[in-house]
A and B are shown apart, each in its own frame.
Chain A
Amino acid sequence: MGRYALQRLLGVIPLLFVVSVVVFMFIHLIPGDPARLIAGKEATLEEINGIREQLGLNNPLWQQYIDYMGRLFHGDLGNSIRSGLPVSDMLATRVMPTIWLTLFSMGWAVIMGVFIGIISAINRNKWPDHVGMITAISGISIPGFWLGLVLIQIFSVELGWFPTGGVDSWSSYVLPSLTLGAGIMSMLARFSRTSMLESMREDYIRTGRAKGLHEFIVVGRHALRNSLIQVVTVAGLQFGFLLGGSVMVETVFSIPGMGRMLVDSIAFRDYTVIQALLLLFATEFILINLLVDLLYGVLNPKIRFDSK
């Protein structure tokens, strides 16, 4: 598997190259002039041109791309066009809130989702199944924006248990994680229920029961493990999405994460920041995909990676 992983990792490089070209072209071709947006509405033409010149925006696009990649290879992400701050410094404060939020949200969503899925599957069409699925459908249907504001009203304003937002303490993460994880938990509950039901119909389950294995082992070890493959696929994808930062949750809960950073930078056509973020997101996604593939092998030894 080591060789397989290495091959996949090397495969990331051309992929990232393609991503960088697409991202660069896309950003520069959408309408909007960063120089004018930065200079403000009272700016003179001379001033705007001065900024364009300073930022190298008057050069041909291919040259701007080469300059950018040249700096990137030296580990320089450049400075934000809008604020002049080094993008790497900005990222340093923005990455961790998003990562924590992702880990907490995914953490409870996976545990609760799979738990509800299993309970629903083994109690199919009985009341725990109905309760579980109603919970799941509610979780998917409730708009996160609304849920966030409701949680703030109840738990911050009325009860005073948690702060309304920010990242000053660990308790700040409770409400945003609940908000962000709700939809994912629900999705995972439905997925794990379905795949559990499928697994439970398999021959080896019948064999297990016939052997007189305890139901707990039949469900917990044999059925669950097999059905987890689908769950891991879905969870992996969601994990990748969340690492891109959730604009909605970060906005509602005033979390200085990457989602808000991306939206702010797009509004001002802050090319360097957008590029850095999109490349980072692409890298994260590719790595998580790789990790998910490797996990398949752990869950199901029949899936092997090394050819003879």
Chain B
Amino acid sequence: MRFKGKAWGMLMLLMIVTVVAAACSSNSGNSGSTTPGKTENTGTKAPAGSKNGNNAIIAVNANFITLDPHNAGDTNSISAVRSMYEGLMGFDENMNLKPVLADSYTISDDGLVYTLKLKEGVKFHDGTDFNAEAVKVNIERIIDEKNNLRMRRSFSRVTKVETPDANTVVITLSEPYNAFLNKLAMGLMISPAALEKYGDKIGQNPVGTGPFKYKEWIEGDRLVVEKNADYWQQGLPKVDSLTFKPVPENGSRIAMLKTGEADFIYPMPTEQVNEVQNDSNIVIDKTDSTIVRYVTLNTMKKPFDDLKVRQAINYAINKDAFIKVVKSGLGTALDSTMSSKTQFYSKQEGYGYDLEKAKQLLAEAGYPDGFEAEIWGENDSETMKGMQFIAQQLSLAGIKLEVKAMEGATLSDQINSPKSPEEAKIQMWFVSWSPSSGDADGATRGLFSSEMFPPAGSNTAYYKNENVDKWIAEANRSTDAEKAKAIYSDIQKQIWGDAPWAFLAVDQAISGKRAYLDGVKVYPDGSINVLNAEVKQ
């Protein structure tokens, strides 16, 4: 019995330890008090009004990685930081540039010197002034090699930042860069005092000038931001707080929208759009995104080195059917190398579905009976569905594809480990791309410049065209928007004709919201804009 007593003692001890541990950390994992206005669920017969008061809950599909705006790369983190931070420039809902913290700007004729007048009277959340010095501190933080921030590549051409007076910033570049204003829109402004105070921990303690102030971030569970009462735009924001919640499972995200636990969800699962369309409490928003879907064709490998083969593939795939089958009908056909929402887009003609023409082109290229090839892609269900669809379409033209679905990081290794085009094993890759700052350079150079063969960049078609290389450089140097537009139009036309891709579709950004919520919008780059959020009671 003595033995038994001891064992029970140990068990009790274990239980006590567990309970104490639980009590100590219950505020981090289980507190219900911090969710603003959270009330009991009242079921489907709930009135259409918000159960979250004058607060909005936004459910997204993945965790936030960092709240350091100079280091955020994933769409969700970018949405989150943009609720608290602003840049000198910003985007409107069509990804057009507009001044935000800048009042006006001029660019020197040689394209090297950007002079920006700043808005006056803007304050950071910590009460310090936003001024030219703050801009200088931020840009210098971004370009400092030691910091190794993601944003550095966008500012690599900056050679100096001067502050002739408190409201004027002069930025000098080493060479002209047409997309620099877009890059400025990505460089959000952090309070220098906060940078001083928090150092490396700024990612967990955001202090910006934006409409919302940081309240709390429980990694993996929620991010709460609250109204910035001193916001410089009068009358904004109109809600008291926003809670962002990562909800990875599609079915759960849509359930939250149905119950009103979430007021806004993005992405809205495409297969559920029809189901909720008749629900008067739920509104679906769709907008063309900057995300393009395509298959790269390795132009240095047989048989894809033959233009006719690449064009045949483009004729053999029915894009409308692709959108219907793979994207649940939500998307538009890709009719250029970039989406219509990307800067300097120019619509191209051709490659309508024509199986006979595809067969004819293949025969002319010397493949009357088609050929065998591999198509690569990631192993998520939509990508696999897409690859199966493409394989089915091409089989009608005699091309037999072996579908190889791989885990993302493994696939990335396969693509980036070859040191030269000769070593590359890639034949076809079903993938998507979206330029991070909506600019034509971001949608072109990394994908089509011959300097960007893997591992240096993402030109996985190993596409090389001297004109295109030259034009890309020219477009970047041009300071005149009209001229840049003309050059990019030539670039798109050339690449479209050369068909280094099987051009497929442009994704739609689809979000769902409760009918009483206004002003929350998904922009074409997939970021969620919350500036005008309003709960109508």
Contacts and interface: CB of A to CB of B under 8 A. Distances in A.
Contacts of A43: 150, 153
Nearest to A48: B455
Contacts of B220: 90, 93-94, 256, 260-261
Interface in A221-274: 251-254, 256, 260-261, 264, 267-269
Contacts of B22: 96, 99-100
A74 interface: no
A202 interface: no
B190 to A, nearest CB: 15
A97 B408 CA distance: 28
Contacts of A163: 41, 259, 261
A21 interface: no
A30 B247 CA distance: 28
Contacts of B148: 47, 50-51, 54
Nearest to B3: A1
A47 B153 contact: yes
Contacts of A83: 65-66, 203, 219
A158 B43 CA distance: 6
B7 A164 contact: no
A10 interface: no
Contacts, number: 193
B466 to A, nearest CB: 22
Contacts of B73: 38-40
B251 A47 contact: no
A254 B220 CA distance: 9
A103 to B, nearest CB: 8
B46 interface: yes
A153 B7 contact: no
Given A93-B218, A160-B259, A267 B153 contact: no
A198 interface: no
Contact of B249 (A50, A160, A251): A251
Interface in A267-308: 267-269, 291, 294-295, 297-298, 301, 304
Interface of A: 1-2, 5, 30-33, 36-45, 47-48, 50-51, 54, 82-85, 89-90, 92-97, 99-100, 103, 149, 152-153, 156-170, 251-254, 256, 260-261, 264, 267-269, 291, 294-295, 297-298, 301, 304
The 8 closest A-B pairs by CB, nearest first: A160-B43, A32-B409, A256-B220, A96-B29, A256-B221, A169-B32, A31-B413, A254-B247
Interface of B: 3-4, 6-8, 10, 14, 18, 21-22, 25-26, 28-32, 35, 38, 41-44, 46, 62-63, 65-66, 68, 71, 73, 145, 148, 150, 152-153, 200, 203-204, 218-222, 245-249, 251-252, 255-256, 258-259, 261, 407-410, 412-414, 416, 433, 435-436, 442, 446, 455-458
